[in-house]
Chain A
Amino acid sequence: MKPLLTVSGLKTHFFTDEGVVRSVDGVSFIVSEGETIGIVGESGSGKSVTALSIMNLLPYKKGKIVEGDIMFQDQSLVGLKPKEMRAIRGNDIAMIFQEPMTSLNPGYTIGDQISEAIRLHKKVRRKEARKRSVDLLTEVGIPNAERMVDEYPHKLSGGMRQRVMIAMALACDPKLLIADEPTTALDVTIQAQILELIQKLKNDSNTSILMITHDLAVVSEVCDRVIVMYAGRVVEEASVKEIFESPSHPYTKGLIDSIPSIDVEVEWLKTIKGNVPIPSQMPTGCKFSPRCQYAMERCTKEEPELTRFESGQKSRCFLAKEVKDETTIIRSQELEVALSD
């Protein structure tokens, strides 16, 4: 597959009164054409800042890409003039935000807002743009699109607003769609509707999707490949199958194990001890070492590189192979138990 977006060695830092916050510190990954990639991490892992860096939407003067490159097709997005970036944003790369309640303008009708996105990038008449808006709304499953196009956002529920956001993002047939926690603010039955819609989008078009979420279950349902971030770094990257069957980084493993399962009953949940480190108190060596059950003395001194397995799975851990082998054995035992029941 041809790479569509290549992020290499990205470092995005924030310059605050309390000092420099290294939100994203050397992140590299590739999104290929037609691929759906999930970036998973807890709050403060730098997943959203990665997305904002790609979109060139970092807070003015505070956040800055200090190193690294973001290549979209054959063009570097770093250091583009605002006008050049505007031609790409919303056109080739579109984004869906977490809060459908606050990301629509309450003063304009839905149709106006979708048409605006279309007319910004394509030379079409107002009427055609409106017609396209109706088509888009129908496509994302809004009933009575013909009538709804003239409604204001407050008339819609959260799930419907998120559909409108998706319609707007799709307005110019983007090559890359960045979805930042698209279902986090929604109820489960509504989340299921939106995930179904994203699934459909994935099957019907060649749009690549970069899905940013804290929810591993959501990732397991829609993504092809997963990137796990911790404290501004990629700690593991693998196919969805591998990440859940044989995670090779202790953090990934801990994250998967700490979610209560609806199928399996346990007395006590597995936990990751401690808290996510705060930027001003970053540990030396491996950033996960203070919370890691496998940590050795070496881990507190030097930081491991992101090493690659034959299968393409990557892990930033000195014990990646051991962790992977161990989890493979445990998972296969679990599977046997489950099958014998």
Chain B
Amino acid sequence: MKRPLLEVKNLKLHYPIDKGFLEKEQNYVKAIDGVNFSLYENETFGLVGESGCGKSTTGKAIMKLIEPTDGEVIFQDRDISKFSRSEMRSVYKNIQLIFQDPFASLNPRKAVGKIIEEPLIVNSNLDSKARQERVNELLETVGLHAYHASRYPHEFSGGQRQRIGIARALALNPKIIIADEAVSALDVSIQSQVLNLLRKLQRELGLTYLFISHDLSVVKHISDKIGVMYLGKIIEQGTKDGVYTKPLHPYTKALLSASPAIKSENRKERIVLKGDMPSPMNPPTGCAFHPRCFAAKPECNKILPELRDVGDGHFVACHLYNE
């Protein structure tokens, strides 16, 4: 059995809600509420879910950009969730983040070369000349050219900016890259270029990805394993084929059938869910999905189903699969 590169154990992040003067109890928004998964070397773990399910928060909590409330993040035998800011610096050498919005995540007043160089200044002992060389090398790696280093972000298109973001993330030779909706803001013809680039980099540099997205087709394309999130919890997890060809949880089934597809001949009957995702401030009792579920049983609104193994590395949190 291969050992995981990064293990997320029972990760929780609860935001306190402003307490009214007369209210006695402190309430919390449970943005993520007990998430478990492992990243294996050179594999991609895809985290899918709709807005508000906590997928992006999970990425940020791993990086400690937001302090997690509870749980462990094991990287190289150490729990990085308890690290101090200065200790985290060494972790950032190994774990990097690519952001969703290529327009907001690059400093408009810095030349592209400087943007990519910054992690090298902070976290490596290369001299100025070596850094320049590394920047040029990185630009070539992501399909840009060395002469782009002196240009500013506004001179680039969305796809090119995302490439710059990727180059910056690669600067320190990280082991893990967390890509948070990395292609969502791009046009389809550009999206495919960036997805191919990510795959090529994974092959060449042996990278491990945590790929966070709402787009089921994109996640399927890039991932080896998949976790489906709903209201702060992973409700189904398994290999790509397991989750996509044999979805078990009613939410996963609905999500897959709701995703629009071009080839309509092999479209199964669409399951259209009623209602919206409930507010995490006031989640339903029992299984959080039961008010929208088409297969809900009486116990679903009382007992919270645990994520359980159903064989072949497939896990599901649903009462339908209790023996």
Contacts and interface: CB of A to CB of B under 8 A. Distances in A.
B220 interface: yes
Nearest to A258: B192
Range, interface on chain A: 35 or more
Contacts of A259: 188, 192, 217, 262
B50 A260 contact: no
A270 B159 CA distance: 16
Interface stretch (B4-12, B193-201, B310-318): B193-201
A168 to B, nearest CB: 20
B75 interface: no
B160 A275 contact: yes
Contacts, number: 118
B272 A193 contact: yes
A261 interface: yes
Interface of A: 42-43, 157, 159-160, 187-193, 195-196, 214-218, 220-221, 244, 254-256, 258-263, 265-266, 268-273, 275-276, 278, 338
B192 A261 contact: no
B260 A275 contact: no
B124 interface: no
Given A262-B220, A263-B266, A276-B187, 4 more contacts: A187-B51, A196-B270, A255-B189, A260-B192
Question: Which of B158, B192, B277 is the most central at the interface, judged by chain A CB atoms within 10 Å of its CB?
Answer: B192
A192 B187 contact: no
A268 B244 contact: no
B235 interface: no
Contact of B214 (A188, A244, A271, A276): A188
Nearest to A222: B260
19 contacts: A42-B189, A43-B158, A187-B277, A188-B216, A188-B258, A192-B257, A193-B272, A195-B260, A217-B260, A259-B262, A260-B218, A260-B221, A261-B261, A263-B261, A269-B192, A269-B221, A271-B196, A275-B160, A276-B187
A255 B216 contact: no
Contact of B260 (A159, A215, A263, A271): A215
B216 A258 contact: no
A338 B263 CA distance: 11
B123 interface: no
A269 B254 CA distance: 26
B189 A262 contact: no
B189 A272 contact: yes
Interface string B183-216: 0000111111101100100000000000000101
